[in-house]
Amino acid sequence: MAERITGHTELIGLIAYPIRHSSSPRMHNEAFAKLGLDYAYLAFEVDNSTLEDTIKGFRAMKVRGCNVSMPNKTVVHKYLDKLSPAAELCGAVNTIVNDNGVLTGHITDGIGFMSALKDAGIDIIGKKMTIVGAGGAATAIQVQAALDGVAEISIFNVKDSFFERAQKTVKDINEKTNCKATLYDLADLDALKREIESSFIFTNATGVGMKPLEGQTYIPDKSFFRPDLVVVDIIYSPTETAMLKMAKEVGCRTMNGLGMMLFQGAAAFELWTGQPMPIAHIKEVMNIKY
């Protein structure tokens, strides 16, 4: 590291709170080192109260870009100059690119989800997906899946503050893409069972299954799954949630959130450096299995 960092090294940041647990710094720094790229990636504890100052500072310091995570993803757009079409549709930004002082917000979570499936040899184009969640990650997946050609998406969410956002997502998808989207209340378990039954893939895109909801799932029992269903949980810590465990017991093809994490990072990496991330190397050194 001491040899690698010079007066020319460019900074890429990660701004979120909490953030010390993140594996993104290791992933990006391993990739920079492997390709001999002169960047360093560092995590900064930034919440909404210090976000504006941080972005101003990044502009002043000509920082090349950053990743953005909670609680800043849905707020940071206020301080940027431009948004990618997907970030605009999602109302969330997880990657910022600084092109000579012009800051553009992107969202790579949806690309990460779709690329992880492709990498695992799972083709969902033209098929039906049922997905639970209406937060930043869920919206990004729903928008990207619709843009990429998934035929039908049934979205479920509890009737919390995210439900309204899902209504907007469904409207946007139906108006702006060829995908048919429908929204349901997660309390309607008959509808959930019916929609999963007619889907090729089922995805959890909520925090149910990770701390503080670790060990929990809203899937009542194994009869909701069948062996030829693909079941994805975008949670990556733990790597096997209660829902994935249940799906494995039924014999479903399953995938955890590590692949999405890897490929959302790869998409951001390419936006900053113009080069593809060395995926095989990163999988090996970080022991990423999904």
Candidates 16-24, 60-68, 173-181, 229-237 — which segment interacts with ligand NAD by CB under 6 A?
A: 229-237
What are 289's two structure tokens? 């299995």
Catalytic choice (62, 73, 180, 248): 73
Stretch that binds ligand NAD, among 4-12, 40-48, 172-180, 202-210 (CB under 6 A): 202-210
**# residues contacting ligand NAD (CB under 6 A):** 28
Residue nearest to ligand NAD (CB): 135
Active-site residue 222, yes or no? no
Tokens 């953030």 correspond to 19
User: Which 58-87 residues touch ligand NAD, going by CB under 6 A?
Assistant: 70
Taken in order 69, 72, 77, 81, the sign of the CA dihedral is negative
Within 232-261, the residues that bind ligand NAD by CB under 6 A are: 234-236, 257, 260-261
Q: Between residue 113 and residue 142, which ones bind ligand NAD under the rule CB under 6 A?
A: 133-138
The interface mask with ligand NAD, positions 22-41, x = CB under 6 A, is --------------------
**β-strand 201-204 against 102-106: which pairing, if any?**
unpaired
Residue 217 CB contacts under 8 Å (≥ 6 apart), including other chains: 204, 208, 209, 241, 242, 243, 246
Report yes or no: 94 and 108 within 8 Å, Cβ to Cβ: yes
Cis peptide leading into residue 25 (ω within 30°): no
- Whose structure tokens read 């909520």? 206
Element (H, E) at 195: helix 189-197
In the list 79, 218, 224, 225, the residue contacting ligand NAD (rule: CB under 6 A) is 218
Closest CB to ligand NAD among residues 59, 75: 75
Cα separation, 65 vs 150, in Å, equals 31
Residues involved in catalysis: 73
Q: Using CB under 6 A as the criterion, which residues of the chain lie in contact with ligand NAD when the complex forms?
A: 70, 109, 112, 133-138, 157-158, 160, 162, 186, 205-208, 210, 213, 218, 234-236, 257, 260-261, 264
